[in-house]
Chain A
Amino acid sequence: MSEVPVLPNDWQLIVGLEVHVELATKTKMFSASANRFGDEPNTNIDPVTLGLPGALPVLNQHAIELAMRIGLALNCKVQPCTFHRKNYFYPDLPKAYQITQYDHPLNVDGHLMLPGDVRIGIERAHLEEDTGKSTHFGGSSGRIHGSDYSLLDYNRAGVPLVEIVSRPDIRTSEQARQYVAELRSILLAVGASDAKMEEGSMRCDVNVSVHKPGTPFGTRCEIKNVNSIRSVGRAIDYESRRQVDLIESGGTIRQETRHWDDSTGRTETLRTKEDADDYRYFLEPDLVPLVPDPAWIEAVRAALPVLPAARRKALAELCGVDKDGESAIVVVERGQDDYVRAVISAGGDARRAVIYVQQAFAEQGAAPKVPAKDLAALTILERDAKVTSTQAKTLLTDLIESGGGDVVAMANKRGFEALDTAALEAMVDAAIAAEPGAWQKYCDGEEKALGALVGAIMKSSKGKADGKAATALLQARRG
């Protein structure tokens, strides 16, 4: 958990998020050019992408199926829908319009649950097409204003997008971060998108307003260019403070689009809404309605995997950890919960299994090389105090490096076998013999004298002894 800056004087934050995700299809939304990130500019283009006269769009069935997966995973109603033209003149779409969904989107009225059972409404999740990529040259800032010319790459133009619009149910920047993180894990789990914020396949626009409880929501500002989960939180913290400071100093909030600058940590006016986003939406005459029949919807629903929230809950119950805690979140996010389950099935200690995997398997992916039975054996060695927790960590590193093996043999090889109880008893005897003065003082009740005795044990074991176990033995001897 991080700090949650509380707004002064009872001001309350209101946040809604619009998240765009590129779908993991092979081809574009309305044409058969490849949907691939990172290709040479303008090598995935066709008459539809370029808006050439006479070119006609045709819906990509797989894109619709992926969009339905998103809708169903977000508890939306999947409904008959239509496509509209959103008209604007900007060279990132050569047609001079974007095909999107307007008054009848595919998915409506869903929700997503955050830790602590906070419910965030999903207003809609609709299909549309991505724009091309413009790069501005000349001028001072490298941004559009003052540039001399722009270069256009249309590989991304027409790539299938789903825009997921939340209701303004988010009340803290921490919740906003959790929302984006949870949405991202759902998108990955259902295979709808690779959801890479750094590559732009998942992008967030953040709507921020403030109000006092019991009064209507204030005027909202939309923040663009928020390209990481961390930036979502920072942008909201900055923008809400800016709005409160402005209102409290007698100003008023203008409805506008603002640009988040990650390097300065500030938002700046991009354009005011007085410029009237008048997109003259009208029904796309080149596309017919999309009416997913109930059998199709049910087939998509039935094929959905178990979602991250349910997997975290199951794993947490199995391992005795918190479902909203770090180990459940991390292990499920990496898709390693089945592996943890296999470790437990192989006789492993459940709690140690999930924590080992969380702490040491970051690079291992969903199918770690270490055989489940070997990790199980290690958890048992530690549980039965055959090795100390420090030794267990060393053995865990050995296991990962070797890709598996007999952990008892590994422990022997490292000399950890000497540290069973009998060996430790012998070391205690030796320490008492070597430090008779300290032992006497300790027996007389001088607890500080324990240090010298434990120190002697650690020294003779070359640091391999378990300090706690040694202390326990010494206490037992004193009686």
Chain B
Amino acid sequence: MAEKISQETVIKVSRLARLSLTSNEAEKMTSQLSGMLEHFRDIDALDLADVEPMTRPYPLKNVLREDVVAPSLDRDEVLGQAPAAESGRFRVPPTIGFDV
């Protein structure tokens, strides 16, 4: 039985997705997401102990390609569409939080 989502979870998820929600929006999202989760009650009501979880709608596996090089995109054309570029590279604002 799906539990309704808490406003706390909605705020956490929005923060992880770098979305800034007002408290009105957070409230609205909470109720809308809870409504969506309600739909899963139908599935929860079924006995699915013997059913493999389905992760994809198509029965494909091992879609592979040969290790053969294809030409790169043109750097100048690509960088020309970036907000900022310098020395053949993308220029981005300082980032905070990770250092890999």
A residues with a Cβ closer than 8 A to B are: 25-27, 32-34, 40-47, 50, 58-64, 82, 87-92, 131, 134-136, 138-139, 143-154, 259, 270-271, 275, 278, 280, 283, 285, 287-292
Contact = CB atoms under 8 A, between A and B. Distances in A.
Given A61-B66, A149-B91, A45 B99 contact: no
B67 interface: yes
B97 to A, nearest CB: 7
Q: Secondary structure of the B side of the interface?
A: loop
B39 interface: no
Interface in B27-55: 55
A62 B67 contact: yes
Given A33-B70, A82-B55, A150 B95 contact: yes
Given A149-B91, A152-B89, A288 B65 contact: no
Given A25-B67, A62-B67, A46 B98 contact: no
A149 B65 CA distance: 37
Contacts of A138: 94
A26 B90 contact: no
B75 A42 contact: yes
B62 interface: yes
B68 interface: yes
Given A34-B72, A60-B65, A91 B90 contact: yes
A160 B32 CA distance: 40
B92 A152 contact: yes
B70 A291 contact: no
B17 to A, nearest CB: 8
Nearest to A270: B99
A50 B78 contact: yes
What 7 A-B pairs come out closest when comparing CB atoms?
A62-B67, A32-B70, A151-B89, A61-B64, A152-B90, A288-B60, A41-B88
B60 A150 contact: no
A168 B66 CA distance: 37
A178 B100 CA distance: 25
Contact of B69 (A33, A134, A283): A33
Contact of A280 (B16, B96, B97, B100): B16
Nearest to A152: B90
**Size class of B's contact patch?**
35 or more
29 contacts: A33-B70, A41-B88, A42-B79, A42-B88, A42-B89, A44-B72, A50-B73, A58-B65, A59-B64, A60-B64, A60-B65, A60-B67, A63-B67, A91-B90, A92-B100, A135-B89, A144-B94, A148-B94, A149-B92, A151-B86, A151-B92, A152-B90, A154-B90, A271-B99, A283-B55, A288-B56, A288-B61, A289-B62, A290-B62
A27 B91 contact: no
A152 B82 CA distance: 11
A198 B13 CA distance: 39
A462 B72 CA distance: 67
Contacts of B97: 89-90, 271, 275
Given A41-B88, A149-B93, A278-B16, A58 B68 contact: no
A89 B18 contact: yes
B61 to A, nearest CB: 5
Contact of A153 (B65, B66, B89): B89
Tell which of A82, A145, A289, A292 has the most Cβ of chain B within 10 Å: A289
A151 B94 CA distance: 10
